[in-house]
Structure 1
Amino acid sequence: MGDHYQVDLVALEKAATGVNGTLDQISVKKVSDIAHEETEVGHQQLASTLSDFLDRWQRGVDNLAKDGQEIATRLTATVNAYHRVEEHTHKQFHGILRGTHDPGVK
């Protein structure tokens, strides 16, 4: 009987909520908010190099955020699909038990 599996819907919901919370946090503060102007770092070439680095870093963060949003969307869709199937199955069983539904008829 080890062939059975379970899906922890609460864990999936928490994972989606956690991903969305992280996305909210990173949307508040941008990488470009890190001081990188010449007047702040004291050297023009360092400021330029730092600016280039921060631009690439921000693109990476943006890509990760996009991927994270896709993950959260799919987790939520999975939870919703399980809930719909569970509700449908519940209604079918109640219909069978009340004698108002014939399981052989679609």
Structure 2
Amino acid sequence: MSQTSIDCGSIHVEPGELISATIQIQNVMDHDSGKKISGLCGDAGEYGNEELRDAFFDFCQAWQTGIDFITEDGRAMASLLSSALNAYLDADLISREEIDRLGRLIKLSS
């Protein structure tokens, strides 16, 4: 059953938006997966001296560490969005089933 939105009191959820956000985050993380900054750093001769090359190499390593953390966080965010969507959909289904059940009980008692 396809839904355009879920309303739970003051909470309004657009399942399609959660799905879209999850997919977009996963696509960005997959696109950058496995790419390494270390390939940017060349030989000392390209920089004029070894100290400058070493400084750039250290910068690249720090940059790579940051990218790895961002990628890890992005994957975790996509997973949490997916879990939240599933929780909302499950709760909505249970609520609808319970309302239907109560409606049948009311019909039977009248």
TM-score (norm 1): 0.77
Q: 2:46 is matched with which residue?
A: 41
- The residue aligned with 2:21 is 15
RMSD: 2.2
Q: Which has the higher strand share?
A: 2
Asked if 1 retains the 8 angstrom alpha-carbon contact of 2:44 and 2:52, the reply is no
- The structure 2 residue matched to 1:56, chosen from 46, 59, 62, is 62
Find the aligned partners of 2:103 and 2:39 in 1 and give their Cα distance: 63
Question: Secondary structure of the equivalent of 2:67?
Answer: helix
% same residue: 24
- The runs of 5 or more residues in structure 1 that have no matched partner are 101-106
User: Which of 79, 82, 89 is equivalent to 1:83?
Assistant: 89
What is the TM-score with the length of structure 2 in the denominator? Answer: 0.75
Deviating above 3 A after TM superposition, structure 1's stretches of 4 or more consecutive aligned residues are: none
- Provide structure 2 residue ranges, at least 5 long, that are not aligned to the other structure: 1-8
